[in-house]
Amino acid sequence: MVQMTWAGQLSPDEAAAVRSLVAAAAEADGRAPVGEHVLMTLSGEHLLARQADGQLGGYVNLDRDNDGRYVAELAVHPGHRRRGLGTELVTQLLQRAGEGDLRIWAHGDHPGGQAIGARLGFTRARDLWRMRMAFTGELPERALPDGLSLRAFVPGQDEAAVVEVNNKAFSWHPEQGGWTTADIELREAESWFDPAGFFLAVRDGRIVGFHWTKVHAARPDTGNQPIGEVYVVGVDPDAQGGGLGSVLTLAGLRHLRERGLPSVMLYVESDNTTAIRVYEKLGFAHWDSDVQYARSR
């Protein structure tokens, strides 16, 4: 017997159980079924599916994106799969969301998510590619545009300016475009944060672009090797068109290579063909996809 409970805020024990469930699913699948931001904030609403022995067998996070749509992420513990729990979680989610627009993430486009989506009338609405490149060759040189300099991020000083650039650069983006200084400070508290890998482009004392890199610990989907990430590259729209994005990208890639990492990854929308061509020229290739499924009406 499974007990389904919605919660507005998780207790410390519940939050720990959710993170443990997600870690178990990631170990089994090679990809975490719930995204980084959700795990860091655990905001929104939460559906907890507990087994008779009290163990957490399934979890749903329900929140809204910057466009006001409901967006959900869910996970089923590997020990409780193939029993209809995933379908029941989505059914409960549909009832909770009511008639509002609803999207559900399937990280890595897991076959189980595909099957549930098809069975319950969801359609593929958005593909977020992961691209990957091995550091096997030389990186091209790009000159810094006139009047600009690069420096490292300074914690406690640069958060607000980076947020301003980020939100202008990603005003169109349903997740990235609504950051606050708290979003940056959350990431500064993570073990992977390194200001030396957070590059800022400055003109006349004002930040006009940035490249934030990240290093992931070894994990199954990378052959148990660490991997770098082009975490976020943002350029103020007023500073675009002069090649600054390429300069910032390459500065971060060199930093990651100099750290001895064998490869690097990034996320890009599948329909952003201009960016994909740029990354392909650098040596990136499609790795896999995170997919948002939308409820059909």
Whether residues 137 and 269 share a domain: the answer is yes
Whether residues 137 and 260 share a domain: the answer is yes
**Does residue 127 sit within a domain?**
no
**Does residue 212 sit within a domain?**
yes
Whether residues 94 and 150 share a domain: the answer is no
Whether residues 253 and 136 share a domain: the answer is yes
Q: Give the domain range for residue 168.
A: 132-289
Whether residues 177 and 58 share a domain: the answer is no
**Does residue 125 sit within a domain?**
no
Residues marked as binding for acetyl-CoA?
A: 74-76, 82-87, 233-235, 240-246, 272-277
Give the chain's domain count. Answer: 2
Q: Is 177 exposed, middle or buried (0-12, 13-18, 19+ CB in 10 A)?
A: middle
Whether residues 143 and 269 share a domain: the answer is yes
Write a three-state SS string for the chain: CCEEEEECCCCHHHHHHHHHHHHHHHHHHCCCCCCHHHHHHCCCEEEEEECCCCCEEEEEEEEECCCCCEEEEEEECHHHCCCCHHHHHHHHHHHHHCCCCEEEEEHHHCHHHHHHHHHCCEEEEEEEEEEEEECCCCCCCCCCCCCCEEEECCCCCCHHHHHHHHHHHCCCCCCHHHCCHHHHHHHHCCCCCCHHHEEEEEECCEEEEEEEEEEEEEEHHHCCEEEEEEEEEEECHHHCCCCHHHHHHHHHHHHHHHCCCCEEEEEEECCCHHHHHHHHHHCCEEEEEEEEEEECC
pTM of model > 0.85: yes
Report the CATH number at residue 23: 3.40.630.30
**Does residue 151 sit within a domain?**
yes
**Does residue 249 sit within a domain?**
yes
**Does residue 296 sit within a domain?**
no
Whether residues 35 and 158 share a domain: the answer is no
**Does residue 295 sit within a domain?**
no
Whether residues 26 and 151 share a domain: the answer is no
Residues marked as binding?
A: 36, 74-76, 82-87, 175, 214, 229, 233-235, 240-246, 267, 272-277
pLDDT in tens, the chain (297 residues): 789 999 999 999 999 999 999 999 998 988 899 999 999 999 999 999 999 888 999 999 999 988 889 999 999 999 999 889 999 999 999 999 988 889 999 998 877 778 878 888 899 999 999 999 999 988 999 899 999 999 999 999 999 999 999 999 999 888 888 899 999 999 999 999 999 999 999 999 999 999 999 999 988 778 889 999 999 999 999 988 889 999 999 999 999 999 999 999 999 999 999 889 989 999 999 999 999 999 865
Give Cβ neighbours of residue 127 (< 8 Å, ≥ 6 apart): 269, 270, 271, 289, 290, 291
